[in-house]
Structure 1
């Protein structure tokens, strides 16, 4: 009994699809090899799986077969178009190379290098360029400095406002503290005055009159001279004072 005809459509089952791909791929690669050997043909086979994996076979080398394919497929018109495109690309590369060398030379001139071959007119143009660049740099510098000064002024005003607020707050708190301290001082002074009055009254009451009989012993001060007697009998110290 022969195998039934297989309907050509996408296999929905993923596993069956992968198994079928592996079997048919191997069979196709085998057929390509057999064709190249049996018929002495140059065969190239390229297969990409659904996951992007590459499978290839080239009896004479893949690159060689592809180059041969390109030579066979291109017509003379296409070849002429390719030559014209290649020529245009060469011209574009040459133009860009010349421009690059010119820019490098101009940069060296601006840096003060390789000025020997320049003429007077070229040097004058270079001088004007440098003066213009210097003027633009100075203007930009001035602009940046003005912006920084404005920013510093803004910060100064902000700090001044904060300082003023702190000063007012400190003055308000200081007045309250001063009033409290003054009240404390007044109460302390009142208590001290009362204590002094009581002490003076106590001292007055403690004092009593005393009676002294006789005379006080006289002690002469330092540097005082000792009196001599008129009769010349000898020196003596006055023992009492009237």
Structure 2
């Protein structure tokens, strides 16, 4: 039985993706080791998983292979070190910003308030008031839209009821059943009169109740 050829695209299922990553990573490192042994090649592999975990393989020394890569690619080591330093500073700044935003979210949820000063508490109170006002406005706007939709639907039902009543009236006058019959909104139908002077009208209304 031949192996089924899979489509090369991102695996959506998390468990299947992790299992495939583990198997393929081991296979990749095995092939690198075989290539290094068979062909006396100097190989270095660096792999980061989607969770940020580092996996690496080197036939001799990872740093030696990287140094050779710098020399052959014309990369200035000092420039590279400076770039790495800038990246490290940016990473630290982003980490501090994330930590600060995490604390703010905790405060908004009512947690870790003991260490806040009076000014910080007042600022948090104003922020909560502003957020509450925005939520209230969004809720009111949603209610207004829903009320408008219900009014429009009610008008449409009333118009449909009127059309069906008119069709029933014409059918009664001609002594024929109506060509179409749909259930109508009972709220729009007036109560039956006890006056029996117009039997055809009463009969038509009873048919549509």
> Considering the TM-score relative to the shorter chain, is it more than 0.5?
no
TM-score (normalizing by structure 1)? 0.37
Determine which structure has greater relative contact order: mean sequence separation of CA pairs < 8 Å that are 6+ residues apart, divided by chain length: 2
